[in-house]
Amino acid sequence: MKLGRGISPVIATVIIVAVAVAISIAVVSWIMNVWGTISGGVEMIKIYPDSKIYDNGTVVLHLKNDGSATAVISKIEVVSLGTDNKPTGDTQLEPGKDGTVKAQVSQCIAGGFYLVKVYTESGNVYQAHLQCVPSS
């Protein structure tokens, strides 16, 4: 009677490594979930493309908070045009909500593109390139 051989050491090693990687991924996911719950979540601001900079220096941003924590907008900067440290409008965005934030900076040249940075109280910076349009 011929006995069957077991699996080769190479295949056994590959299986052990694959199982270890799968378990590691599961543990990291669990830790990140627990950490997010403990720390109160994170904010994730999205700047919609209908946001505009008007040539008189008015910045109107349509924002959405896709995160799990409330986002508080502390300032708006348009690179090369200046910073508004006291934006107005919906400066506090609850998770899943969108709103409009306004700021006032130096005048821009209609047709030009400018880098806009949105700063939050938690220290995050979100940015987008927006075109300067003529004011109505």
CA separation for the pair 16, 72 (Å, rounded): 47
Q: Strand, coil or helix: what is 75? A: strand
What's phi and psi for 110, nearest 5 deg? Answer: -55, 135
User: At residue 65, what is the residue type?
Assistant: N
Question: Do 102 and 57 share a structural domain?
Answer: yes
Do residues 114 and 71 share a domain?
yes
My answer on whether 31 and 49 are in the same domain is: no
Q: How many domains does the chain have?
A: 2
Kindly state whether residues 82 and 111 are assigned to the same domain.
yes
Query: 126 and 86 in one domain?
Result: yes
Amino acid 41: pLDDT: 73
- How confident is the model over 3-36, as pLDDT tens digits? 667 788 899 999 999 999 999 999 998 887 777 6
Indicate whether this model's pTM tops 0.75.
no
**Contact between residue 133 and residue 110 where contact means Cβ atoms under 8 Å apart:** yes
Do residues 29 and 86 share a domain? Answer: no
Query: Distance (Å, rounded) from C-alpha 35 to C-alpha 40?
Result: 8
